[in-house]
Amino acid sequence: MTNTMVCQQDVRVIDGQARLFTNGYWRKARLIICRQCGRGWYMLEHKKCKGLCRKCMNKGRNNPMHGRKLPNDGFRKGHRHSEESKKKMSASHKQEFALGRKPWNEGLTTQTDERLKECGAKIATALKGGTASNEAKENMRKFWAGLDPDKRNAWIKKASVGRKGRKMPPEVGERRRGSNNSNWRGGKSFEPYPIGWTRTFKEQIRRRDNYTCQICEVPEAECEKRHHVHHIDYDKKNIKPENLITLCNSCHTKTNFHRNCWEKYFNGE
């Protein structure tokens, strides 16, 4: 064959004979050409070969699984890897990435790659109308609770960057509006603040806290937005100074969830 691609191997020509370096010795070798794809490689002279490379040997009728039917309940359905297997796979993947391997989807988005777009559509269809079981919810809660805060924040930041610029479909927005939203609190956000709730008053609270978030301790000068003044008991009518605290935009968003826990946290319980 004229166009033959030979695999990279440690081969030398010594005394007119191709030799392959194996087990510390230069042994006689011969060039083998795959009769299907034309790929070439060197093999020790004394070894037998079927004339097929590893890739072609596992294709079609050459594959030992060719013609075999899988069980009706799905191949390995419900199979779970042991903890030992998980550790071995994790160590193998870490070693590969340390040597320079990159994920196949690095830098790709659903807007630029059809595979990601098709995969996302399949997942969305499968999850549509479904709800997670109590066991799954408990497992997710334990996972996020035991995760390192820095790693968790890095994931959240990466996800927010990936969603930047994406517009939510109108029908989804309608389903999450008003009383249909999981964060709906009976319309508290529409209640008016007391007369004393002014910019000057909020500035006094920020100055009292030294313009620093009382959770992550990040100063206001290092943030893109101004720090917020948060109500500890979530009652916007209670504007006593001891009920107010300075928070950055990120931490203030966190306090909208698990309110009972945050209230106990700020009260030192």
CATH number of 202's domain: 3.40.1800
Backbone region of residue 106 per phi and psi (left: phi > 0; alpha: psi in -120 to 50; beta: other values): beta
Q: What are phi and psi of 29, to 5 degrees?
A: -135, 165
Residue 71 in domain? no
Residue 51 in domain? yes
Predicted pLDDT at 176: 78
Residue 90 in domain? no
pLDDT per residue as tens digits for the range 20-65:
888 778 888 888 888 878 888 888 888 888 788 877 877 777 777 7
Q: What distance in Å separates the CA atoms of residue 142 and residue 125, rounded to the nearest whole number?
A: 27
Residue 182 in domain? no
Q: Of 62, 80, 105, which closes a domain?
A: 62
Backbone region of residue 38 per phi and psi (left: phi > 0; alpha: psi in -120 to 50; beta: other values): left
Q: Of 19, 45, 62, which closes a domain?
A: 62
Residue 27 in domain? yes
What's the domain count of the chain? 2
Rg (CA), the chain: 31
Residue percentage of the chain with pLDDT more than 90? 17
Residue 138 in domain? no
Predicted pLDDT at 6: 53
Residue 173 has pLDDT above 80, yes or no: no
Residue 213 in domain? yes
In terms of residue numbers, what domain contains 212? 196-266
Q: Of 62, 80, 100, which closes a domain?
A: 62
Residue 256 in domain? yes
> Percent helix, strand and coil across the chain, each rounded to 5?
40, 15, 50
Q: Is the pTM of this model over 0.95?
A: no
Pick from 42, 35, 36: which is nearest to 7 by CA? 42
pLDDT per residue as tens digits for the range 140-165:
888 888 888 788 888 888 877 767 77
